[in-house]
Amino acid sequence: MHLHIDIAIEGGNWPSEEEVRPAIERALRHAVTVLGLVGETSELSVVLTDDATIRTLNAKWRRNDKATNVLSFPAYPVTAGDPPGPLLGDVVLARQTIEREAAIDGKSVDAHFTHLIVHGFLHLLGYDHEIDEDADEMERLERAILADLGIDDPYTPISDDMKDDGRPTS
C-alpha cells in the first residue's frame, strides 16, 4: 500500500511539518508492512492540535468533555483485517496531553507520539479496544509495530490520563 499523508498543524506547540513528517511516515510505513497491507493507494490526514481543540472534538463526537491524546475519524466503516479503501480518514493528536502523559510515564514525547500515531492508524483500519479480545489483538499489533521501531511496550506504566486498563483514551 502506498500512503498519501496530509499533515495539518492547527494548534499546540508542535514542531514544523518538516520535523514531524519523517516520524509520522516511518511509523505508518512500518505499520503497513507489519499488517501486510498491499494494493491500492490510500490517503489519510494527521491533524496536530492542542488540548482545547481536541476537547471540543471529543465532546462533540464522543460525548466526553475532556482533552484526550488521540482521536480517529474513519472515512468509512472498516472491519479489522479488511482491505482499506482509498480514503482512510483523520487522526487528530493533542500536543499538551501527549507531553503530559509522556512526562507522567517517564517516556519520551517522540515514543509516545509514535505510539499514538500507530494507535490512531489502527482505528482507521477498523481495530478497536472496547471488547477485551479486540483490545488484545490491537495491543499485540501495536507492540509488534513499535518494538520493530525500537519503542518499548507502550502499556506500561499506566498514566492517569489513560483508561484504567492502560489503553489510550481514544
Q: How far apart are CA 51 and CA 4, in angstroms?
A: 26
Q: Residue 165: pLDDT band by 50, 70, 90 thresholds?
A: very low
> Which of 152, 148, 122, 157 minimizes the C-alpha distance to 136?
122
pTM of the model: 0.89
132-145 per-position pLDDT tens digit = 888 899 999 999 99
CATH architecture of 2-148: 3-Layer(aba) Sandwich (3.40)
Q: What is the pLDDT of residue 155?
A: 85
